[in-house]
Structure 1
């Protein structure tokens, strides 16, 4: 968790954003799924849905896991209950926003207004094309590209690691697809993946744990300094919100 807290976009955990709360619900939902605590998984996933729309990925993970459990005839009726409970929070959020706008499709109108409707990656490909051809010179954009590539590699690496439960890999893959498949401001893309970042850090958790304490301290310290510098640049030096 120390490495996660030192990531460049970790400032979103202490500003008035929803990442910290959503991450808590996300991680506990995945723990419940892996432990086959189906009722807890459904309830926690529903709570996550009231916080962030990216919980759609989590709903899918719970559903796939529950279907697999039902196929193997495990846990009786509880996987069915988890499937029914999981999307309730997200549905409530959609209906609440629709009631505020006065239309049932209010959520999709808001998505279109913010240019956040899912386009299967076309917007991200245009962003990459501008970056590669030097049409955009924002110094922060290479970091966004790095995040996209590193997470893609991380998904593949975790999928090849048999010690990592497959629901975690599915969650990270879904988050990457959501990040890549949604247009909008490129600088907001790392925020899609931030709550799921602890999953990817499983790749480095064991090697880091074997390092001497002094090396770990230097690693965490340098990470914290870099994260603080990056957060300062986003929050103070640049005019637009991160």
Structure 2
């Protein structure tokens, strides 16, 4: 199916007249089964090493920063040496705000509240991914897309108190709204995505480019809803960046100064290339070679997405996520996590898996089983054994 000439493929209209949840139970069930099995493997690994799985899932690495913001607000810093000052202003506010709301409204506190937010967001994200995939290619491809996303090597992050599930949930439904030309919802959800993570700006970019394309096609004769949605889309990301800049007495540069102190900056990939060179010459840990393979696979999948002539919003969204990941320096081992919201990259694989399942069911079963084994084993290794920031 070619999508070069339209933002709204014909199946989208039919799907939008039904409740998307009615078409998704199989996909959501497979997603839940995959993540629960992965959590069970992680729990067994944790218990075998004398550690507590819920503590690992709810209070690891960046989770601690988010939980601190949820409990006490912004203002915490850690100094590791000259020019190395980590401030919690580097973390966007939506996820800790949701965790705080859950903690204040119910009995769950701390990491447990964070896990509830993440697990709920992951389910909503899977639902949105299925709705979008079904709109483009039908239910079978949509189900395969959700399953592949659940079985990524680094999908263990979907079970942790991290922000990627929240971003993906808002991104999936914003892109779905764009394909249905529901501009107000698209812009509102994009603004919320921009409050979730720094790379949430990719959702706003997709909405703005899609809106610009629609204006061009209609020769400017578009409704006020499009203009309003386009104006809303970048507000979340922009508002937080400017708020941090105001707190740092540097309106436009304050947030980026905070990120530089964390070792994160956009340098057109110079830092990443330097690390890859070091990795190829001196690698001795599994995490870094695996990261290199995952990032290289993402680049290849993006090329396939272009060849597949995917709708422009998906191309822009995935491209911006990939650009931020490849062009940013620092925390090389976290790059697969940064790419976790880039689910459109899996569309070519999902279509291929469905074709294989119809022609050679056992071949597809072997592929899925292999992906599941890799995902569960590598996820347990990352969280329990690797002792590497995610």
TM-score (norm 2): 0.57
Is residue 77 of structure 1 aligned with residue 224 of structure 2?
Answer: yes
Larger CA deviation: 8-17 vs 33-42: 33-42
Is residue 235 of structure 1 aligned with residue 354 of structure 2?
Answer: no
Tell me how far apart the structure 1 counterparts of residues 312 and 254 of structure 2 sit (CA, whole Å). Answer: 34
Matched residue, 1:23: 168
| 1:88-237 paired onto structure 2 within 5 Å | 88-98=235-245, 104=251, 105-132=253-280, 134-162=281-309, 164-196=310-342, 198-210=343-355, 211=357, 215-237=363-385
Tell me how far apart the structure 2 counterparts of residues 153 and 136 of structure 1 sit (CA, whole Å). Answer: 23
Check the 8 A contact 2:283/2:289 in 1, yes or no.
Answer: no
SS in 1 for 2:154: helix
Matched residue, 1:13: 158
CA RMSD of aligned residues (A): 2.0
Matched residue, 2:87: none
Tell me how far apart the structure 1 counterparts of residues 311 and 193 of structure 2 sit (CA, whole Å). Answer: 21
Structure 1 runs of 4+ aligned residues shifted over 4 Å read 98-103, 212-218
Is residue 54 of structure 1 aligned with residue 54 of structure 2?
Answer: no
Deviation at 1:81, TM superposition (A): 1.3
Check the 8 A contact 2:287/2:382 in 1, yes or no.
Answer: no
Check the 8 A contact 2:321/2:339 in 1, yes or no.
Answer: yes
Per-residue deviation, residues 73-107 of structure 1 (Å, max 9, x unmatched)? 25322222122100111123224445666764442
Larger CA deviation: 69-78 vs 13-22: 69-78
SS in 1 for 2:266: coil
Tell me how far apart the structure 2 counterparts of residues 64 and 206 of structure 1 sit (CA, whole Å). Answer: 26
Tell me how far apart the structure 2 counterparts of residues 152 and 85 of structure 1 sit (CA, whole Å). Answer: 30
Larger CA deviation: 206-215 vs 28-37: 206-215
Bigger relative contact order, structure 1 or 2, given CA contacts below 8 A and separation 6+? 1
Larger CA deviation: 144-153 vs 96-105: 96-105
SS in 1 for 2:329: coil
Matched residue, 1:42: 187
Larger CA deviation: 215-224 vs 185-194: 215-224
Tell me how far apart the structure 1 counterparts of residues 247 and 365 of structure 2 sit (CA, whole Å). Answer: 48
Equivalent pairs counted in the alignment come to 239
Larger radius of gyration: 2
